[in-house]
Structure 1
Amino acid sequence: MSFDLNHKLWVATRKDIGQLIKKQNRLKKLEPPEEKAISFKIFSELYVLYVELVNKLGFIYHNTFQVQKRAVVRILVESATQQLLRLKEELKGMELSEYVYIDKALVARRLTPRDLVIWRSPQFLYRRPLDVQNIVADNKLYMNDIEKVEKEAQDWVKVTEAVTLIQAHERARRARVYKSNINYDKKKFLKVLQRKKINYRFTFKPDQAMSIPVKRTIFAADFIKDVESCENLKEKIDVLEPSTDNEELERLNKLRDDAASKIQNCWRRYKTRKIMRMRSRFKEELYGMKKHRKLKRPNRFANSVLEMYKKEMLKKKLDEEYIQLITDERTRLLQMRTPWMMEDISDHIRAWFKEFYEKTGNFHPYPDPIKTGTVLVVIDETMTPLEFQDTLGKKPMTKAERQKLAEKKKAEKQKQKDKIRKQKMKDAKRRKKLKDAGIIDVAYEMTSSKAIANIEEAMKQFALDWRNIDEYLNKNHDPIKDWVTEEELAKIHQELRGLVDEYMRIEYELLRAALAKDTKTKYKAQKVKKAKAKKEKKKKKVKDMTADRTLDSLYQELKDEGIIEEVSHKDFDEFIADFNFLANDTRDEDGLTTVGPAKGDIKMIIQESMLGMGEFDIDKPKSILLIGPLNSGKKLLCNIIASELDAVFINLSPEKVFKFADNMKYFLHVVMKVAKAFQPAILYIEEAHRVFLKKIPPELKEINPTLLASSIPKGILKNIKKTDKVVLLGTSNMPWSAKGKFKKAFQKVLLIPKCDYATSFLLWLELMTENVENMEEYAYSALARVLQAYNSGDIAQNISQTLDVSRRMRLNNEALDPNEFLEYFLSKHDEPIFPPEQKIMDKFDKWFGKSNKFLKLRRKFMAKKMAKQKKKK
């Protein structure tokens, strides 16, 4: 992205933040709305604004290279994301649902539900250290010179193999051309055929593209000499008359020319009609009359990650230059200004001595190091000469009086704390009472948010610090040297003042001793109170069973055992599903949605959970469980999450883990050590209900599926800290067959909704038009309506197997019949494939209702409502 565009976007975003702060300041003075709908409207509008803000700030932060400015943008994007998730939790609490629908706020901003997508890979990715990234991603961009040479040697072997493969395909192509020439004219190639025998066998592999494209021969001859129509060509019969050899040859040549002209005439008419159709189609698309229905889902992940790491290398270089600048500036200041700074500090302290002696005839007590020493003099935290004069005539307090005064102050502080605590409890009870009545105290939510306070403070500080700096002139991303000088001067001054205080305290004691001698009073040195050294708490050292092993060896060990798997790169566009556009319009009298979520809505929930796995400090669930029937897209979503996060995929399914039953403690230690070292990491369990089965089937006893059951709470979840970018991800198609501990093992449970008409339509449309042209006008709507209840995986398999290579080759001659897709479900297998039964879906809904907190709250709310209605009757 260009510097100019990033600068313009930053200027526009600053204005947006200013407008948002003004709006929030008005809301801080707002009385609690009497209606729940008003509170919901306020929060939904703020949520949309924060989604736009987070997307802009994330993009700006990703493309900002100036070190000092990047630190400001980081605070803003982190705080904005935290406030965004807090607003989403408030909306979920009002909706009593995991899914939130704010269509009115979107319409006002002219947005769609797709614009609420927060995750932007790679802008939110967690950056691994480059030495760790070298192990995970075998790429020369992150390697040193020795590693690059080794990598180039491996690449040369691959290039040699590729050249050999191309040569083999080229020889096969030449053989096919040679054989076709022989079949065309055997007489011409008869001698060659007799001289050399060619053993050739043609093999066809499904979905194999040609290695070398065959160039078609273009004939320049033009046989069209008239505009004779070829409609009656079949009925035309030339009368053969006896003629000489020359006449016969001329007649045959004329017949050949006429036939060639007819063929060219038909071909040119076909080509002209095709071009006209293409132009007509282009005009219709240009005017918006028709849209080109063809799926375009290029996989940009690899390029985006590569571009990200290039930018990271530039940022790393600028960071190193900034650190070097700080070091050089500190050295320069220490060499050039240290003596003068020490002299200035000592002169200032001597002037302080002199001022007090001239006005009071005595010296103010020297500030103790525990109270930052003479820094108190600079910030006017010491007594004035008049205040000190009043203390000289007073008798020193006895120990009992000092203790009594300290107890009095302590009682006053405690009284004040109790008063504040009681007021907080009173306010909390008031807010709870309002919340039970459906009223939200918007003002309190705005004032109590630390994220909003951080945004306001960061913007104020930015406006103050950068008011005299033109950011547009700094296209080389150079740091501002004056700020570095000021910061280092402050640090050096703080360090030197402690050193000067030690010397000036000696001079202070000499002055006091001389004064005592002059006044003939007893001299007593002042006691110095120094800060006590903090005793470090002895932490229990966790025994590392692999202390003598390198991370590379541990990673390779898990990879060789098949625990660490490579996943194909996919993005969220691969999960084809549509959002629910009807839920907001079907609310009941309490403002709650009555229609369940669509399949596309689950992407929003998953992306919110992924934000905590990114670079910024954001709360995230430690474990996520995806439940749903077979072929509903659970494994695909896990693959997408791993790809979007660029995470290490560690498979802990029972069929992988049972091999380590003899030494589970060591195995879990290695897994968690690798996961934390190479984070972001995903600990994946396929069909996780098997780990907590109530009754183990005979066919699963061999792999002992419950081996991990006792280790998940203590061995895995307990070791995952809030700051760790590690998550336990599981799938299940029979969650009701597991014990109650299964729910406790997963912090967030998500039910994948069944296919609706919109999702089914998109599946048929996009998957069929992905590899097949001229399918724009097919009966997708009828297919989606008839086969709507089938899972997305079943539909995808149907399309891929029905539209195989042989069927696609016959499409021009044999039109595709919709019954072919129906036959696949009914007669192409040993048993017909039917959509999941309603009983199964009800079973999923029932189990999910017992594990989701919002559904529990909704049931309680409905129960209270029914009880009130019965009382009225």
Structure 2
Amino acid sequence: MSHSTYNSLWSEAHEELSCLLPQELPEEPIRPERDRVVFFQRIATFYVRYVQIFRHLEEAYDQSVHPQKRRVIRQVLDSVMGRVLELKNEMVEKEFSEYHYMDDVIQDLKLTPEDLEIPIPRYFIRERNKVLQDRERMFAAILNQMDVMEKSGPPVMRMLTLERTIKVIQVAERARQGRLRAKFMREIHRDSERQKRADIETVSSDQAAVCIQKVWRGFMQRKITKRLREEEMIFLGMALDPKLSYPSQTELIAQNNKALRRTRQEEHEDDYQKSIGSVVHQLREVEGSEMKETMKDQIRQWFIECRDATGSFPDYPEEEDGGSALIFAEKTPEELAEELAAKEEEDANKNPKGKEDTKEKAKKGKIEDEEEEPGLKMLPSACLPDLERSHKTYSEVWKNRNESKNFSQRHELELIKEDKRKEIEVEIRKQVDELMRQELANWKLAVDKEKSGKVKGAAKVQKRRRQKAQRGRRRTKILQQIGSQAVHEKSPLVKTILLVGPSGVGKKMLVHAICQETGANLFDLSPLNVAKKYPGRNGLQMMLHLVFKVARLMQPSVIWIGDAEKMFYRKVPKEEKELDPKRLKKDLPKILKSIRGEDCVLIVGTTSDPHSADLKSLCKFYNKIILIPRPDYASRYVMWKELIKKNGGEVTGDLDLSSLAKISDGYTQGHMVQVVRSILTERRIQQFPKRPLTASEFVSPLARIDPVFQEEEEALKNWYAKTPLGKKRIKAASGKEGDEEPPKTGGKAGKKKGKK
């Protein structure tokens, strides 16, 4: 596709934003909504519309080649992603469920269920490609070193026992006898076939011709009927055209064009970075000295005007207040002097009265909160201000920009100059401020002739500046250590997730999918994996310290805890006491508190038996619990089709996928993978031209596997109803959401009442 296509996607996204932002940030506050259904409908509509904006922006960012446009799109894209996460979190809190049904919203907006799918941004991996490659090389070197160390040990001689030797000989002998028996049976079968051919009676040529015609006409008619049936199904839209099952030439060309655009992105980015360096050097050389002298003249003029107006030289504004930038505001010297004096008075008058004022304000705020109208309100957003700012940048700079001469979509020098001129002006202003502060001090010393006092004051000022500079350096170091994305910092923080579901529904696959799509490292802290490793209290603390330290240094990271119920056993089984599955129960929650908002570290637990764990401890550690059910009919239909194709099979008209999806009700994705792999052997794949695949072949392997019975699924649902979110959902369904629990009586108060 062309540049205009992705520009139009960007433009459409901002047009939708221009309609959404006034609704999200109205001039007058919105009254609280009493009806929970209406309120959820409003949030769901916002969510779906933001998802559509996100899809447009993600496609535009992935394929745009203009480096300056990509930076603006990225800012909007991050803000929209953050807003989607905020709305999702709000939907969970208002509906008390991780799953939502938005059929009404889809119908109102004239969308399809496919439009609700959130694509994983491709820049997650592409922009970290070099880091991921370096990490792979480092891991490969470590693994090779470990293999060398293992191989360097003395060779281990494995001695066969007498029983094992006899068994090997028996297997070999039985195989030899089987081959001989097969050879004899083949010869007997061949002799019988020869005998049958000799016994066949001779027929006339007419009878033979009629027999051949019957067979041929029947074959041709069946072939024609089958083709007509397939054409009818394709015409009705109930079957896919075989031509569309393979990518067409047009699709291949489009894929190649996308790859070429990504290559062009890198070229334009390199040119852009080189141009930034040359523009900055040019501005410093050409305009830097002129800026410096202009600022000095303006500041000196301000000194003289203040001296004439107030009778004394002013105090120079501190760097934290903006420095000389305050001088160039549209204010008279008297107003500026009054402002500086007012600030000094505010800093000096930090007394108990101020505390009393704050207390009074807090009381007033509480009273106002109590008097607020009851109902449901939208939670405050951390992403909407950035989103509004980015939308404003687009409207002012890019919306009506004429790019008729920039056909190749390279960077624009004027925009670079505008941005870098401001940065250079800030740098030069800091240098000028240092010089002019000293010059102002000299002027005061020369005019007022109070050298001793002023020298001490100047020394104090310099000391304060050094302390502030040191604080600034510390802040910059802290900011440099933060490597997380803006979306992660502003979206609702989720440290731990627990995936609950029957065995085989894909819990572990989801963990690997998270790592694959985000380029994250995977750490395995499952009880069985850490058993008998790093023994003792100190060893356990060292292991957790190393894991979390490496996870932070090489973030994003995912820490997986398989069989998460073992860590919170109510009663440890006898056969697992030696493994000590509860050894992480005390130390892991403590170290979890050290994970901050800027750390891209996620702990994911998986369990298929949550009933054996202490519910209170489990829910306290995992702040988000997601119940994964077994697949429904539509999911099974799609999965059978994709699994058969993935394992080398062919889906033809002889294979009734609908019946296969119905008879596999109760089976999980893991069961389906197991069955497909057992059927689609190399021998069976070679027989496809003569014997197509049928649904009856899957019945016998499925019958040998125990499905997920309804009792097990109901038990998981009942367990989930006891979790915090499940309890809230039950209360909301029964209409007792606002009811407060009666205060518990007991302790000293209860005893006193009992005595009375």
Contact 1:80 1:455 in 2 (8 A): yes
AA in 2 matched with 1:629: P
- Compared CA separation, residues 822 and 681, structure 1 to 2 (3 A): same
The corresponding residue for 1:692 is 568
Question: CA separation in 2, counterparts of 1:234 and 1:737?
Answer: 76
SS in 1 for 2:721: helix
- Compared CA separation, residues 306 and 95, structure 1 to 2 (3 A): farther
Q: 1:378 aligns with which of 325, 328, 337?
A: 328
The corresponding residue for 2:130 is 130
Note if 1:647 corresponds to 2:498: no
Contact 1:682 1:726 in 2 (8 A): yes
Note if 1:31 corresponds to 2:35: no
Which structure has the higher relative contact order (CA within 8 Å, separation 6+)? Answer: 1
- Compared CA separation, residues 384 and 774, structure 1 to 2 (3 A): closer
RMSD value over aligned CA atoms? 5.0
Question: CA separation in 2, counterparts of 1:728 and 1:746?
Answer: 9
SS in 2 for 1:450: coil
Question: CA separation in 1, counterparts of 2:542 and 2:102?
Answer: 49
The corresponding residue for 1:636 is 509
Structure 2-normalised TM-score? 0.71
AA in 2 matched with 1:671: V
Question: CA separation in 1, counterparts of 2:89 and 2:273?
Answer: 40
The corresponding residue for 1:731 is 606
Q: Which sits farther off after the overlay, 530-539 or 119-128?
A: 530-539
Q: 1:624 aligns with which of 497, 517, 530?
A: 497
SS in 2 for 1:72: helix
Percent identity, aligned pairs only, is: 25
Question: CA separation in 2, counterparts of 1:784 and 1:361?
Answer: 89
SS in 2 for 1:379: coil
AA in 1 matched with 2:726: L
- Compared CA separation, residues 698 and 294, structure 1 to 2 (3 A): farther
AA in 2 matched with 1:734: D
Note if 1:657 corresponds to 2:537: no
Structure 1-normalised TM-score? 0.63
Q: Give per-residue Cα distances to partners, 1:335-374, cap 9 Å, x unaligned.
A: 33444334333333443355456x6593442425455554
Quote how far apart the aligned CAs of 1:503 are: 5.2
| More helix by percentage | 2
The corresponding residue for 1:4 is 4
Question: CA separation in 2, counterparts of 1:327 and 1:678?
Answer: 30
Q: Which sits farther off after the overlay, 777-786 or 638-647?
A: 777-786
The corresponding residue for 2:590 is 714
Question: CA separation in 1, counterparts of 2:347 and 2:557?
Answer: 54
Q: Which sits farther off after the overlay, 834-843 or 764-773?
A: 764-773
Quote how far apart the aligned CAs of 1:106 are: 0.6
Map 1:261-660 → 2, pairs under 5 A:
274=223, 277-278=226-227, 281-282=230-231, 284-286=233-235, 288=237, 290-291=239-240, 322-355=272-305, 360=309, 362-369=311-318, 372-380=322-330, 383-384=333-334, 417=358, 421-422=362-363, 424-429=365-370, 434-435=374-375, 440-441=376-377, 445=379, 448-466=380-398, 469-471=401-403, 473-474=405-406, 475-479=408-412, 480-502=415-437, 504-505=439-440, 508-509=443-444, 512-513=447-448, 527-528=457-458, 529-530=461-462, 531-532=464-465, 533-534=467-468, 618-658=491-531, 660=533
Note if 1:678 corresponds to 2:678: no
- Compared CA separation, residues 620 and 295, structure 1 to 2 (3 A): farther
- Compared CA separation, residues 25 and 353, structure 1 to 2 (3 A): closer
Q: Which sits farther off after the overlay, 54-63 or 270-279?
A: 270-279
Q: Which sits farther off after the overlay, 21-30 or 638-647?
A: 21-30
Give the unaligned 5+ runs of structure 1.
151-200, 202-232, 240-254, 299-303, 392-396, 540-610, 869-873
Q: Give per-residue Cα distances to partners, 1:409-454, cap 9 Å, x unaligned.
A: 87886677556544543454456x623xxxx235xx5xx4332222
The corresponding residue for 2:56 is 56
Contact 1:769 1:775 in 2 (8 A): no
The corresponding residue for 1:548 is none
Q: Give per-residue Cα distances to partners, 1:623-678, cap 9 Å, x unaligned.
A: 22212222232233233333323333333333432352334444434433433333
Map 1:39-78 → 2, pairs under 5 A:
39-78=39-78
Question: CA separation in 2, counterparts of 1:523 and 1:655?
Answer: 75
Question: CA separation in 2, counterparts of 1:523 and 1:709?
Answer: 66
Q: Give per-residue Cα distances to partners, 1:713-756, cap 9 Å, x unaligned.
A: 234x3443322332222221211212353333322221111343
SS in 2 for 1:434: coil
Contact 1:61 1:70 in 2 (8 A): yes
SS in 1 for 2:41: helix
Q: 1:748 aligns with which of 612, 624, 627?
A: 624
- Compared CA separation, residues 731 and 354, structure 1 to 2 (3 A): closer
AA in 2 matched with 1:754: R
Quote how far apart the aligned CAs of 1:307 are: 11
Contact 1:751 1:848 in 2 (8 A): yes
Quote how far apart the aligned CAs of 1:471 are: 4.7
Quote how far apart the aligned CAs of 1:40 are: 2.4
The corresponding residue for 2:165 is none
Quote how far apart the aligned CAs of 1:494 are: 1.0
The corresponding residue for 1:582 is none
SS in 1 for 2:603: strand
Contact 1:712 1:745 in 2 (8 A): no
Quote how far apart the aligned CAs of 1:71 are: 3.1
Note if 1:841 corresponds to 2:704: no
Q: Give per-residue Cα distances to partners, 1:298-329, cap 9 Å, x unaligned.
A: 9xxxxx99999998887676666555544444
Contact 1:634 1:731 in 2 (8 A): yes
- Compared CA separation, residues 284 and 866, structure 1 to 2 (3 A): closer
Question: CA separation in 2, counterparts of 1:364 and 1:538?
Answer: 31
SS in 1 for 2:558: strand
- Compared CA separation, residues 328 and 270, structure 1 to 2 (3 A): same
- Compared CA separation, residues 293 and 113, structure 1 to 2 (3 A): farther
SS in 1 for 2:533: helix
Question: CA separation in 1, counterparts of 2:452 and 2:543?
Answer: 71
Q: Which sits farther off after the overlay, 99-108 or 653-662?
A: 653-662
- Compared CA separation, residues 13 and 366, structure 1 to 2 (3 A): same
Quote how far apart the aligned CAs of 1:136 are: 1.9
Give the unaligned 5+ runs of structure 2.
145-178, 180-199, 248-253, 475-483, 740-756
Contact 2:303 2:314 in 1 (8 A): no
SS in 1 for 2:105: helix
Contact 1:676 1:724 in 2 (8 A): yes
SS in 2 for 1:845: helix
Contact 1:768 1:775 in 2 (8 A): no
Question: CA separation in 2, counterparts of 1:866 and 1:59?
Answer: 42
SS in 1 for 2:31: coil
AA in 2 matched with 1:726: V
Structure with larger Rg: 1
AA in 1 matched with 2:383: A
Q: Give per-residue Cα distances to partners, 1:38-72, cap 9 Å, x unaligned.
A: 32222221111111112222222333454443332
- Compared CA separation, residues 702 and 492, structure 1 to 2 (3 A): closer
SS in 1 for 2:534: helix
